[in-house]
């Protein structure tokens, strides 16, 4: 099962009159999840348990 970390309705609000395809939201969700995982690794490598903006 695909766990969502993004809010699809917020994306639709942002794009206004544009249509949003299912593959867009799935790809965006996957990228966000990967960014979070990479940020966690960077924080850990720097001896922190707090993920910060600079970890992105």
Reported as a pLDDT band with limits 50, 70 and 90, residue 1 is low
Asked if residue 52 belongs to a domain, the reply is no
Share the mean pLDDT of the chain.
Answer: 95
The answer to whether residue 19 is domain-embedded is yes
According to the model, what pLDDT value does residue 32 have? 97
For tokens 């609000």, name the residue: 13
Query: Measured between alpha carbons, how far is residue 34 from residues 5, 40, 56 in Å?
Result: 11, 10, 10
Q: Does residue 31 sit within a domain?
A: yes
The answer to whether position 53 is within a domain reads: no
Residue 56 belongs to a domain: no
The pLDDT tens digits for 37-55 are 999 999 999 999 999 999 9
Q: Does residue 29 sit in helix, strand or coil?
A: helix
Number of domains in the chain: 1
Contacts of residue 24, Cβ cutoff 8 Å, sequence gap at least 6: 11
Which residues lie closer than 8 Å to 15 by C-beta, 6 or more apart?
none
Distance CA 56, CA 9 (A): 24
User: Do the domain assignments include residue 16?
Assistant: yes
Q: Is residue 50 assigned to a domain?
A: no
Q: Look at residue 1 and tell me if it is in a domain.
A: no
The domain in which residue 39 lies consists of: 9-44
pTM of the model: 0.86
């Amino acid at each position: 099962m695909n766990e969502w970390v993004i809010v699809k309705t917020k994306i639709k609000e942002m794009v206004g009159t544009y249509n949003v395809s299912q593959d867009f939201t799935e790809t965006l969700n996957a990228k966000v999840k990967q960014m979070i995982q990479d940020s966690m690794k960077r924080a850990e490598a720097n001896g922190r348990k707090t993920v910060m903006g600079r970890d992105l």
